[in-house]
Structure 1
Amino acid sequence: MDIQRVFYIVCIALLSTSRLGSAGDIVHQDDVAPKKPGCENNFVLVKVPTWVDHIEDKEYVGVGARFGPTLESKEKHANQTRLALADPPDCCSKPKNKLTGEVILVHRGNCSFTRKANIAEEAGASAILIINYRTELFKMVCEGNETDLEIGIPAVMLPQDAGASLEKYIMNGSVVMLALYSPKRPVVDVAEVFLWLMAVGTILCASYWSAWTAREAAIEQDKLLKDASEEYLPAEGTHSGGIVDINMTSAILFVVVASCFLVMLYKLMSRWFIEVLVVLFCIGGVEGLQTCLVALLSCFRCFQNAAESFVKVPFFGAVSYLTLAVCPFCIAFSVIWAVFRQISFAWIGQDILGISLIITVLQIVRVPNLKVGTVLLSCAFLYDIFWVFVSKWWFHESVMIVVARGDRSGEDGIPMLLKIPRMFDPWGGYSIIGFGDIILPGLLVAFSLRYDWLAKKSLRAGYFVWAMTAYGLGLLITYVALNMMDGHGQPALLYIVPFTLGTFLTLGKKRGDLRILWTRGEPERPCPHLELQSPQ
């Protein structure tokens, strides 16, 4: 595999997206209106099932206000109530039509949310639905100088398209009934457990593959040292073909390159641009899946001859027969996923391609020592925090989260993510993690296992188990933070980097290996005649 192809795969994988919650997150943040008596509800999503002329119709999603009573959490306890239009539509003055317990549908604007709710309650409404003037949800809060906050009816914001549909039914003479309830999300969903296992398992597999490759290269070098004089051999350790070491310059430039790429995605985000990303992801996925399958099949004796026999292919050079046999399957798999990626179980194909790509990158790209690893992860740490949190000050929204969700593109997020549907969440959606949250710490974890094998350290005396455990704990803390933040996006590297890097540095210092880990990145092997073996 040539360096140009490796660089291409790395460029795709460098998009480090934050760990997000399920679909349906409320768009706008409430940063200016503090809670106060009568206006201290937590913001919750609200399900609004509807019936038109006694026939079940669509179910809409709204957001509850900070004021008013809380809603039922179970559908069976929610009453079906008739919907009525406000007259005037903004409900900033007493409605002309008499209400007897109906839910009133009003337009946003011209007066405060609490004034609309007070007027609707005085007119006899049982609840108020406020139509936003955009196709998104907005948090309804109380203004700082408001005092009349003893509101006895629930208030729910609906997006513009949902309100327009309900208005149209009523104006056409149909009877519209609806119910309002807000089901609670489970504290932990099974999808999060599986996603954690996928991330940890991916790094585990990639680390062992990377360590095995490094050990084989070291054994080959020692064989050469037995048969030839050192003066005819390179001073540095040799690598197997296609291995690329990250240097200090590229580690520092990561922030600049990845930030430019992220801003480009943010500015150009549209349906056609998502299609371009899908094509790029498919090419990288084919490369990763092919590399993993060839390596896996080569372990079987019946495929070894095909793996070791090569043929010249124009533009590609020498290619093994096994690679030629596997390639059509990989291309077909990728194309089928791209064509049918909107169906409900397409996430399986996306995860297979994504995991293959991540493993391939972690096997090819390496940090040569702890110094480069520290600089790379420190830059990634700052990068993640800046584009999730700080970018709101300049762009008025989190650039990282907008890109990861695929807002304004009409698509369900970008493809550079591992995702699993939330199985027991009444709101549905996906639990997702960005490639960068696996690849970047995975580079350090893979480095730890390579060092352990070359230093002939047992698992207990080495660094790999500690680094792997630290990554798992860091990702677990990300889940906890995600749930505490009510499902809003979190920069996973904010938690993962201190765990993995901090553990490695502390343990290296305590054991006296920090100088070698920091500079050389591999132990000195003065006697090349000793056979290298993996620890038992």
Structure 2
Amino acid sequence: MELKTVLFLAFVLFTVLCSSPAYAGDIVHQDPLAPRKPGCMNNFVLVKIPTLVDGVEGDEFVGVGARFGPTLESKEKHANHTRLTLADPPDCCSKPKNKLTGEVILVHRGNCSFTTKANVAEAAGATAILIINNRTELFKMVCEANETDIDIEIPAVMLPQDAGASLEESIRNKSAVSVQLYSPKRPLVDVAEVFLWLMAVGTILGASYWSAWSAREAAIEQDKLLKDASNDLLTTDGTGSTGVVDINTTSAILFVVVASCFLVMLYKLMSRWFIEILVVLFCIGGVEGLQTCLVALLSSFRWFEHAAQSFVKLPFFGAVSYLTIAVSPCCIALAVVWAVCRRDSFAWIGQDILGIALIITVLQIIRVPNLKVGTVLLSCAFLYDIFWVFVSKWWFHESVMIVVARGGKSGEDGIPMLLKIPRMYDPWGGYSIIGFGDIILPGLLVAFSLRYDWLSKKNLRAGYFLWAMIAYGLGLLITYVALNLMDGHGQPALLYIVPFTLGTFLTLGRKRGDLKHLWTRGEPERPCPHIQLQPSQ
């Protein structure tokens, strides 16, 4: 019972953290507070600025393009290396004292408008202007409200303070500095999103079959006991004997409250030390999940049957099989290696292995008993996801869910409770990610559909599992379509997944006349469950 309790708490913990399926930094920014006008119509795009210092490749910086000026090149090979020079005066609010012959001019923010600086630089012969912000973050350069007839023919890019200081120092040290300015476009579809989609769908598929197989085996075992013993000595509650925790309506509703409180706590307390705590919790859950999956998998082979059925009593842990003792060091070693190397480029592999194992184990142990509970749970999660991704911006001035998913200001590359794959063909890099909740919550309903199909002896086409899986896959696919249409802004996956999966289930149940049994009992009436539970061919 202790293990089930820990896993249930882990389920609540890991599913509330984030649900944005992909976030790799916004490339194109929209800003309704900065209205467009003739000559000031550009999107705010990120700009790559590779440098050459004395002919040697230097640092590469990232800036943001202004609302005004021409559109930048999208490919590096079309962007010329141009010499960089300092403005004199530094603010470039008046005609520079030094004569420019096609250089890029580096100026400081302040004392006059951005368009004034650009006009002065253009008149002096500059081919582009880099404006150093007075803060470490980027700032969107817009036109003044009273400005008209804006006609600026050179690109203007805002640099963060530290990048500008580095370039300025190199020039003052008499180094020859040249820069390129280009804004690469993100591909419409990245291979990472395809693999992440397959990973999420495959995880639910495997977890559903394991859950249905376990339910069938438990029911067959119970039927055997019914033949050999009096009904008075048996209980119909499968939880105590099978290690399964059924969610009820109250806990489904309570989920939103607990999840919201926990998310706000993460948002407020997010720091490096807090990330370390989350890493430890993730490792514990990942080790438990991977260990459970490996023991279940190896137990199906006859070479390991004896080790799986032989037990030794250990302090605190109780009776533990020899097979569990054998696989535990491997699981612990993987978790430790991932925790130590989690900032390395290959660490996502270990994180995904531990995460998938944990998700599968949770879907095996935590179950939705009927469609009523599933509807309440997913409906609450649907509202929760939308609120903390979109609506929370009104109170916190930023999306709480996305900030938590990125790791806030902790200096870490996001929290560990995510499946992630690097964006392989994206010039901006980053990861496509999906939160555990976007797999576990709809996965509970999909797993329930397969258990119902097996109990009612339905084939794939006449059952609900196939359609639930298709609905989940389509919902996740639509999420990625929306993600690309929104220029990389994080999207609440459950906004799209829940209507597809839950809507499909409810519609089919009503059409087939099974809705009453699905809603209340969660299983058909079966006089001989040990016969009915055999899956159809």
Q: TM-score range by the shorter chain?
A: over 0.9
SS at match of 1:44: strand
Q: Which residue of 2 aligns with 1:8?
A: 9
Q: Which residue of 1 aligns with 2:205?
A: 204
Question: Aligned-pair distance for 1:272?
Answer: 1.4
For residues 459 and 531 of structure 1, the distance between their equivalents in structure 2, rounded to whole angstroms, comes to: 15
On the 8 A contact 1:195/1:431 being kept in 2, the answer is yes
On the 8 A contact 1:226/1:528 being kept in 2, the answer is no
TM-score of the aligned structures, taking structure 2 as reference length: 0.96
Q: Which residue of 2 aligns with 1:398?
A: 399
SS at match of 2:44: coil
Percentage of matched positions with identical amino acids: 82
On the 8 A contact 1:312/1:319 being kept in 2, the answer is yes
Query: Which structure 2 residues correspond to residues 270-419 of structure 1 after superposition, within 5 A?
Result: 270-419=271-420
Query: What whole-Å deviation, never above 9, does each CA across 1:133-185 have from its counterpart, x for those lacking one?
Result: 33333332233332142110011112221111101111222111111111221
Q: Which letter does structure 2 place at the counterpart of 1:481?
A: A
Q: Which residue of 2 aligns with 1:454?
A: 455
Q: Which letter does structure 1 place at the counterpart of 2:366?
A: V
Question: Aligned-pair distance for 1:423?
Answer: 1.0
On the 8 A contact 1:29/1:139 being kept in 2, the answer is no
Question: Aligned-pair distance for 1:238?
Answer: 5.8
Q: Which residue of 1 aligns with 2:426?
A: 425
Q: Which letter does structure 2 place at the counterpart of 1:371?
A: K
On the 8 A contact 2:38/2:149 being kept in 1, the answer is no
Q: Which residue of 2 aligns with 1:44?
A: 45
For residues 531 and 391 of structure 1, the distance between their equivalents in structure 2, rounded to whole angstroms, comes to: 48
Question: Aligned-pair distance for 1:304?
Answer: 0.8
Query: What whole-Å deviation, never above 9, does each CA across 1:268-301 have from its counterpart, x for those lacking one?
Result: 1111111111111111110111011101100110
On the 8 A contact 1:26/1:137 being kept in 2, the answer is no
Q: Which residue of 2 aligns with 1:159?
A: 160
Query: Which structure 2 residues correspond to residues 157-306 of structure 1 after superposition, within 5 A?
Result: 157-236=158-237, 240-306=241-307
Q: Which letter does structure 2 place at the counterpart of 1:182?
A: S
Query: What whole-Å deviation, never above 9, does each CA across 1:369-392 have from its counterpart, x for those lacking one?
Result: 111111111111111111111111
Query: What whole-Å deviation, never above 9, does each CA across 1:216-265 have from its counterpart, x for those lacking one?
Result: 11111221222334344334556643210111111111111111111111
Pair 1:143 & 2:151 matched:
no
Higher mean C-alpha deviation, range 93-102 or range 211-220: 93-102
Query: What whole-Å deviation, never above 9, does each CA across 1:312-354 have from its counterpart, x for those lacking one?
Result: 1111111111001111111111001111111111110110001
* Structure 2: runs of 5 or more not aligned: none
SS at match of 1:489: coil
Q: 1:385 to 1:238 in 2, by over 3 A?
A: closer
Higher mean C-alpha deviation, range 126-135 or range 293-302: 126-135
Higher mean C-alpha deviation, range 85-94 or range 347-356: 85-94
On the 8 A contact 1:129/1:156 being kept in 2, the answer is yes
For residues 133 and 23 of structure 1, the distance between their equivalents in structure 2, rounded to whole angstroms, comes to: 25
On the 8 A contact 1:28/1:139 being kept in 2, the answer is no
Query: What whole-Å deviation, never above 9, does each CA across 1:109-129 have from its counterpart, x for those lacking one?
Result: 333322221222122211111
For residues 272 and 528 of structure 1, the distance between their equivalents in structure 2, rounded to whole angstroms, comes to: 52
Q: Which residue of 2 aligns with 1:513?
A: 514
Higher mean C-alpha deviation, range 30-39 or range 199-208: 30-39
* Structure 1: runs of 5 or more not aligned: none
Q: Which residue of 2 aligns with 1:106?
A: 107
Higher mean C-alpha deviation, range 479-488 or range 26-35: 26-35
SS at match of 2:531: coil
SS at match of 1:457: coil
On the 8 A contact 1:289/1:353 being kept in 2, the answer is yes
On the 8 A contact 1:78/1:179 being kept in 2, the answer is yes
For residues 237 and 286 of structure 2, the distance between their equivalents in structure 1, rounded to whole angstroms, comes to: 33
For residues 267 and 484 of structure 1, the distance between their equivalents in structure 2, rounded to whole angstroms, comes to: 31
Q: Which letter does structure 1 place at the counterpart of 2:242?
A: G
Q: Which letter does structure 1 place at the counterpart of 2:166?
A: S
On the 8 A contact 1:19/1:490 being kept in 2, the answer is yes
For residues 18 and 143 of structure 1, the distance between their equivalents in structure 2, rounded to whole angstroms, comes to: 38
SS at match of 2:57: strand
Q: 1:356 to 1:235 in 2, by over 3 A?
A: closer
For residues 532 and 269 of structure 2, the distance between their equivalents in structure 1, rounded to whole angstroms, comes to: 54
Q: Which letter does structure 2 place at the counterpart of 1:125?
A: A
On the 8 A contact 1:202/1:355 being kept in 2, the answer is yes
For residues 200 and 368 of structure 1, the distance between their equivalents in structure 2, rounded to whole angstroms, comes to: 22
Q: Which residue of 2 aligns with 1:32?
A: 33
SS at match of 1:486: coil
On the 8 A contact 1:371/1:519 being kept in 2, the answer is yes
Query: What whole-Å deviation, never above 9, does each CA across 1:61-82 have from its counterpart, x for those lacking one?
Result: 1121221101112212111111
Q: Which residue of 1 aligns with 2:56?
A: 55
SS at match of 1:332: helix
Q: Which residue of 2 aligns with 1:77?
A: 78
Higher mean C-alpha deviation, range 439-448 or range 5-14: 5-14
Q: 1:235 to 1:333 in 2, by over 3 A?
A: closer
SS at match of 1:530: helix
On the 8 A contact 2:87/2:106 being kept in 1, the answer is yes
Q: 1:46 to 1:526 in 2, by over 3 A?
A: same
